[in-house]
Amino acid sequence: MHDSIRFSPDFTWGVATSAYQVEGAFDADGKGPSIWDSFSHNAANIKDGSNGDVACDHYHRYREDVGIMAGLGVDAYRFSMAWSRVQPLGHGAWNEKGFDFYARLLDALQEKGIAPHLTLYHWDLPQGLQDAGGWLARDTAFRFGDYAQEVARRFGDRLASIATHNEPWCTANLGYGNAQFAPGVSDARQALQVSHHLLLSHGLAMGAMRSVASQAALGIVLNQWTSDPATGSTADRALAELEWARSVQWFMDPIFKGRYPELALRAHGADAPQVNAGDFDIIRQPLDFLGVNYYFRHFASAETPPRTAPCALGTTDMGWEIYPQGLTELLLKLKGEYALPPIYITENGMASADTVDGGQVTDTDRISFVRQHLAALQAAIDAGVDVRGYFLWSLLDNFEWNSGYAKRFGIVHVDYATQQRTPKASALWYRDFVAAQRGQRHAA
Ligand code: IFM
């Protein structure tokens, strides 16, 4: 079953989560409120009216969860730190009890030989900073630099990698562009200024972390997609090119080329962000790795109403087209346009409407999804892209942002009433898949 997919023996196999989606304990041990606490406490913002107050209660059950990962035999765990847990206001005093939680988590991972990959910011800005202007305020980027430096100083030598941001596209466009995510603003101009401050904060954090010279590899995680014209028409092709510029190049060009893409700048016109002299020198810094999150492609249609993607392989429970070949195409396109560092696929996975039946969850759709995407990944590697690892999103069913608990991305099912964890068929498949790759590793 696994024979046809073969990765290099030192390829990293992992699973991923993020703090707000799994930790719960939203006000425990001195944690300050974050923008996601505030946003989700207004039930109207979340489709099922839920919030992340308890989530998967990972804050208290992390040992059990690390045990599950050990049972799956994964090499690595990608998780994020809740900034307001370790610095309740986002500036000023540190919260030792918050740091203690992450130290205990690192101890548990170390005991099981699982490499920790930390993300500093997975969308949960301390509310204290939001009250001072949030990401729209340039000063927030400097506060993020301070936070990054403190985390690298304390934990850098215990972490395999530190990513500054997860998917800044979402923070800017869903948080400030269309109000779907915290802090719930809908203003195109603000979204662009926020995207610039996020990039600036990435650069400041990279510099601040380099200054404490830890062993962790440093980088950023971007959500990316190829953009395919719906037809061969000039209008569709132009729209596809614009989407690529506005989404992928908008974040990649500043980091790798020290500028914003011309095409997107022209399209944004007067909404383009205010950039201070020297900003691109801060943003453009060598990365040790680039994290790529891939879920779907963009299908560009200039018609009214727009043509929809063919979805030949179906859609996920999010309504997202299943399009594995987009992963190959994306990675090859990135390689063609940028001088890339090693890449990790830091997220890939699908939501499906899973239920426990007789103690089992038969999520065969997810197994096919992962298998097809791994084959697509292998094709990119065979074509010369330097990919070092793959993190399945997600270890656990969890709080899927404005969809609440209605969408299940986990390879482990969570019964939120009892907090019972049930590995799905996909978890057992992934365990066997990783073991099969290990067999090759031992033979190598
Ligand atoms: O759950 C999210 C995650 O937090 C960021 N990337 C996409 C996932 C699925 O929507």
Residues of the chain with pLDDT under 50: 1-2, 442-444
Q: pLDDT tens digits for 49-63?
A: 999 999 999 999 999
Ligand 1 atom at minimal distance to the Cα of residue 318: 10
The SS3 assignment for 269 reads: helix
Residue-level pLDDT at 444: 36
Cα 400 to ligand 1 centre (Å): 7
The answer to whether position 68 is within a domain reads yes
Whether the CB of 397 sits within 6 Å of ligand 1? no
Q: What residue owns the CA closest to ligand 1's atom 1? A: 400
Assigned token pair, 348? 């890939």
For a substitution probing ligand 1, which of 21, 221, 401 has the most ligand atoms within 8 Å of its CB? Answer: 401
Q: How many CA atoms lie within 13 A of 234 on its CB side?
A: 0
Strand 420-423 versus strand 412-415 pairing type: antiparallel
Ligand 1 atom at minimal distance to the Cα of residue 347: 6
393: left (phi over 0), alpha (psi -120 to 50) or beta: beta
The count of domains in the chain is 1
Q: Is 329 a catalytic residue?
A: no
The answer to whether position 3 is within a domain reads no
Residue-level pLDDT at 441: 52
Q: pLDDT tens digits for 353-387?
A: 999 999 999 999 999 999 999 999 999 999 999 99
The answer to whether position 268 is within a domain reads yes
Ligand 1 atom at minimal distance to the Cα of residue 293: 6
**Domain housing 215:** 12-443
Whether the CB of 17 sits within 6 Å of ligand 1? no
Residue 370 sits at the vertex; the CA angle it makes with 366 and 374, to the nearest 5 degrees, is 170
What residues contact 417, with CB distance under 8 A and at least 6 apart?
A: none
Q: What residue owns the CA closest to ligand 1's atom 4? A: 18
The answer to whether position 1 is within a domain reads no
Ligand 1 atom at minimal distance to the Cα of residue 223: 6
> pTM higher than 0.95, yes or no?
yes
Cα 122 to ligand 1 centre (Å): 9
Q: Is 167 a catalytic residue?
A: yes
Spacing of C-alpha 55 from chain mean position:
18
Q: What residue owns the CA closest to ligand 1's atom 2? A: 400
What residues contact 366, with CB distance under 8 A and at least 6 apart?
A: 349, 350, 352, 411, 424, 425, 426
Q: What residue owns the CA closest to ligand 1's atom 10? A: 400
Whether the CB of 296 sits within 6 Å of ligand 1? no
Ligand 1 atom at minimal distance to the Cα of residue 18: 4
Residue-level pLDDT at 3: 54
Cα 422 to ligand 1 centre (Å): 21
The answer to whether position 294 is within a domain reads yes
Quick check: 65 and 30 in contact, CB under 8 A? no
Residue-level pLDDT at 183: 98
The amino acid sitting at 171 is T
The answer to whether position 2 is within a domain reads no
Q: Residue 142 burial (CB < 10 Å; 0-12/13-18/19+)? A: middle
Q: What pairs with residue 118 in β-bridges?
A: 79, 162
Least Cα distance to 24 among 48, 60, 49 occurs for 60
The answer to whether position 118 is within a domain reads yes
Quick check: 78 and 122 in contact, CB under 8 A? no
Whether the CB of 18 sits within 6 Å of ligand 1? yes
Q: How far is CA 251 from CA 117, 241, 280, 407, in A?
A: 21, 15, 12, 28
Whether the CB of 293 sits within 6 Å of ligand 1? yes
Question: Domain containing 368 — which CATH number?
Answer: 3.20.20.80
Cα 413 to ligand 1 centre (Å): 16
Among 23, 167, 321, 400, which one carries the catalytic annotation? 167
Among 243, 329, 347, 400, which one carries the catalytic annotation? 347
Give the integer Cα–Cα distance in Å for 243 and 298: 8
The answer to whether position 4 is within a domain reads no
